[in-house]
Structure 1
Amino acid sequence: MKKNISIIIPIKNRSEFTFRILCYLSTINFPYKIFVCDGSFNKSNNKKIINKFKKKIPITYLSFPYDKNYLFFLNKLKKTLRKVKTKYVILLPNDDFINLDFLKILHKKKSNYESVSGINIDFKINNYIRYINDYGKTKFYSKVKNQYDPSLNNKNMLKRIKFISKFNPYESIHSKKVLLDVLNYSIEFSVNNHKEFMWFFKLIPLFLTRVIFINKPLIARQVNTYSSEGFGLYSRDNFSSKSRLIEFKNFIYKKTKNETLHNIITEKDFPTKPNVTFKEKIIINLIYIKKFFKKRINFFYTKKQKYSFNNYEKLFKLTIYNFKYFKK
Structure 2
Amino acid sequence: MVEIKFYERGNESGAMKSDRTNPEVQPRVTILDVAKAAGVSKSSVSRFLDERIPKSDSETARRVRQIAMDMGYVRDVSASSLRRGKTGMVGVIVPRLTDTVMAMLYEALAHAAARAGQFTIVATTEDEPGADRRAADILLRRGVDGLILSTAREGDNFTDELVDRGVPFVLALRTDGKCRSSVGDDCLGGYLATRHLLDLGHRQIGLIAGPTYASSATGRVEGYRKALAEAGLEARSEWIKGSTFGIESGGEAARQLMSLAERPTAIFAVNDNTAIGALSALTRMGLSVPNDVSLVGYNDIPVVSHLPIPLTSVKIPFEQIATAAFDLLSAETVSPRERIRIAMPTLIPRGSTKPR
Q: Same fold (TM over 0.5)?
A: no
TM-score under structure 2 length normalisation:
0.22
Max Rg structure: 2
TM-score under structure 1 length normalisation:
0.23
